[in-house]
């Protein structure tokens, strides 16, 4: 079995939920979020970072840079936050598929 190190990043409530199931977490305010994510990536200790959909949009530039450079890890596990699904992740996936196939897809 392959061991995968996972960490959650977000506000106190978000991180506490993951700590309850045994996943480490770092509390981050909106101002700290980008710096913390960059630090986690540079240290290379974690293979997966769990982040809310809202916060994922705030570090989108960082995630795109990882894709451009071909870096596989860490993967970002993006989950809805307490506000529920925002639909931003669906738009992002739609855009990636459109780029991959070269045809604009219509979502219904």
Average pLDDT value for residue range 86-96:
62
Residue with tokens 């909106």: 30
The residue-averaged pLDDT of 46-70 equals 91
User: Could you tell me the CATH superfamily of domain 6-101?
Assistant: ATPase, V1 complex, subunit F (3.40.50.10580)
Using pLDDT thresholds of 50, 70 and 90, give the confidence band for residue 93: low
For β-strands 6-10 and 48-52, DSSP reports them as parallel
67 pLDDT more than 70: yes
């Amino acid at each position: 079995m392959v061991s995968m190190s996972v960490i959650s990043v977000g506000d106190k409530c978000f991180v506490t939920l993951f700590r309850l199931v045994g996943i480490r977490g770092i509390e981050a305010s909106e101002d700290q979020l980008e710096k913390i994510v960059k630090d986690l990536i540079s240290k290379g200790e974690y293979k997966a970072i769990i982040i809310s959909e809202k916060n994922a949009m705030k570090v989108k530039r960082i995630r795109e840079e990882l894709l451009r450079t071909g870096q596989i890890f860490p993967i970002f596990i993006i989950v809805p936050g307490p506000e529920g699904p925002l639909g931003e992740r669906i738009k992002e996936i739609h855009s990636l598929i459109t780029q991959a196939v070269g045809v604009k897809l219509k979502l219904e």
